[in-house]
Copies of this chain bind each other. A is one copy, B any other.
């Protein structure tokens, strides 16, 4: 697997642990239909124990783990290995999320492991220098999101969005840039894509919406429209 597997513009649905069990599976199934209907690249994250279930039922989603450790198979216990993820059909993994910050060494090794087994990597960055540092490690995607905005209504400002994109591409133009903070509507999705983001990721904007499925669909439609126009 390589960058060809993920096509910009892409959309990431990241329910974190707001939804668990049947509620999560239900949202995933709906996303699975939308992926097919709108021909949009959709990544869908889930807690580790539930990944296999979603893979089985949602062939149109790039099912994504919310964290991975850099361990190799062997005498280690309680950590998440790339091999287990691949075995259950996971295709991508988020690393270094603000809720699970990793040491620099662990990020570097986890990206290495992921490449060995063909997992896509989405590595979270807070500041611009951190984003550039991560770019040096060669992940597939960098999710640029100012930590202090996560979970809040405020969007990343336009300067943050454009400068993270520019600075990351300058280090390595092959890395895709996802923007995340504070997306609350389909208009926000369009705005970020027009500013140059390769992808957009949403948590609260969907799970805390009055009608999560409807909001998710509108956002995905926005991605599809942007995709259409760009052709």
Seen from chain A, the residues whose Cβ lies within 8 Å of a Cβ on chain B are 14, 16-18, 20-22, 45, 47-53, 65-67, 71, 73-81, 83-85, 87-88, 90, 94, 96-108, 126-127, 129-130, 132-138, 147, 151, 171, 203
Whole-angstrom CA separation of A107 from B104 in the bound complex: 8
> Is the pair A130, B108 in contact by a Cβ cutoff of 8 Å?
yes
Known: A17-B73, A45-B77, A77-B94. 18 other contacts (CB 8 A): A17-B77, A17-B84, A20-B73, A49-B84, A49-B88, A50-B87, A52-B88, A67-B78, A77-B97, A77-B99, A96-B103, A96-B104, A102-B104, A104-B133, A108-B127, A108-B129, A130-B137, A136-B136
> Is the pair A48, B133 in contact by a Cβ cutoff of 8 Å?
no
Per assembly, the copies of the chain total 4
> Is the pair B49, A78 in contact by a Cβ cutoff of 8 Å?
no
> Is the pair A79, B99 in contact by a Cβ cutoff of 8 Å?
yes
Most buried by B among A18, A78, A134, A137: A78
Whole-angstrom CA separation of A141 from B78 in the bound complex: 17
> Is the pair B101, A103 in contact by a Cβ cutoff of 8 Å?
yes
Instruction: State which of B17, B52, B67, B103 has its C-beta within 8 Å of the C-beta of A81.
Output: B17
Residues on B with beta carbons closer than 8 Å to the beta carbon of A126: 105, 108
Residues on B with beta carbons closer than 8 Å to the beta carbon of A87: 20-22, 49-50
Smallest CB-CB separation from A51: which chain B residue?
B49
Residues on B with beta carbons closer than 8 Å to the beta carbon of A103: 96, 101-104
Most buried by B among A71, A81, A96, A103: A103
Residues on B with beta carbons closer than 8 Å to the beta carbon of A106: 101
Residues on B with beta carbons closer than 8 Å to the beta carbon of A80: 47-49
Residues on B with beta carbons closer than 8 Å to the beta carbon of A73: 17-18, 20
- A71-B17, A171-B136 known; A81+B129 contact, CB < 8 A: no
> Is the pair B99, A105 in contact by a Cβ cutoff of 8 Å?
no
Residues on B with beta carbons closer than 8 Å to the beta carbon of A53: 52, 88
- A49-B84, A81-B20, A102-B103 known; A136+B138 contact, CB < 8 A: no
Residues on B with beta carbons closer than 8 Å to the beta carbon of A107: 104
Whole-angstrom CA separation of A106 from B134 in the bound complex: 14
